[in-house]
Structure 1
Amino acid sequence: MWDSLQHLSYWNWLAVGTLLLILEVFGAGGYLLWIGLAAACVGVLTFLFPELPWTLQFILFGVLSVLTAVLWWRRQRSAAKPSDQPGLNRRGSELVGRQFVLYEAIASGRGKIKAGDTLWLVSGPDLPAGSQVRVIGQDGVLLKVEASG
Structure 2
Amino acid sequence: MLTVTQECMCGMTRRWSSQPFVGSYPAGNLDISAGILYSGSIPSKALRFLEQMNVKAITSRTYFNHQQAILYPSILGVWRVYQSKYFQTIRSNNMPICIGGDGRCDTPGHSAKYCSYTILDVNYMVVADIQRIQV
Q: Do both proteins adopt the same fold according to a TM-score greater than 0.5, normalized to the shorter chain?
A: no
Task: Using CA pairs under 8 Å that are at least 6 residues apart, name the structure with larger relative contact order, 1 or 2.
Answer: 1
Q: TM-score range by the shorter chain?
A: under 0.3
Greater Cα radius of gyration, structure 1 or 2: 1
